[in-house]
Amino acid sequence: MRVDFYHLQKSSLEQALPALAEKVYSTGKRLLIKTELAEKADYLNTLLWTYRPDSWLPHGSETDGNEADQPILIATGNENANGAEIIMLTDGGTIEEIQSFERCLNLFNGHDETAVQNARVLWKAVVDAECEAYYWQQNDAGKWEMKVSKIPGK
């Protein structure tokens, strides 16, 4: 399993999440976007319909129904109802929550010390579980740069 840590410092979650979701969707893989609160799930559901005037990213939330049919599903629970290969964490998570996925994208707010600490805990768990771990940070232009990687056996 591969876990990518996106340290949000220049971009907000509202800016980074749609762009990363578009990239996942373009691969043909299914995505589960996990958040802790129902209100945030509703907000992200609306965001993915409105983040750009010309955007169209097929998705739904667990409250919309037809979860299994959604290429991108926004959920608060731990069930992988759409059979996603990739999970995106918006409020942190644990190694147990992500182990059944091919890949995890962990987006965390670099201006929130609790979120940064939670990301550090998850990083350690991922490395200890001998998974690939990549840490991405934005440069001054807002472009993502890989700063650190841990690959088992290397």
Q: What is the Cα–Cα distance from 147 to 144, expressed in whole angstroms?
A: 9
pLDDT in tens, 96-110: 999 999 999 999 999
pLDDT in tens, 8-51: 999 999 999 999 999 999 999 999 999 999 999 999 999 999 99
CB 105 within 8 A of CB 6: yes
Q: Residue 142: its pLDDT value, please?
A: 84
Question: In this model, does residue 89 exceed pLDDT 90?
Answer: yes
Q: Residue 65: its pLDDT value, please?
A: 85
Burial of 54 per CB tally in 10 Å (0-12, 13-18, 19+): exposed
Among the residue ranges 30-34, 82-86, 150-154, the one predicted with the least confidence is 150-154
pLDDT in tens, 42-59: 999 999 999 998 888 999
Q: What is the Cα–Cα distance from 20 to 40, expressed in whole angstroms?
A: 18
Question: In this model, does residue 154 exceed pLDDT 80?
Answer: no
Q: What is the Cα–Cα distance from 103 to 84, expressed in whole angstroms?
A: 10
Question: In this model, does residue 122 exceed pLDDT 90?
Answer: yes
The Cβ of residue 85 has, within 10 Å, a number of other Cβ atoms equal to 16
**Average pLDDT of the chain?**
95
Q: State the pTM of this model.
A: 0.95
Q: Where on the phi/psi map is residue 92: left (φ > 0), alpha (ψ -120 to 50), or beta?
A: left
Give the chain's domains with CATH numbers: 2-150 (3.40.50.10110)
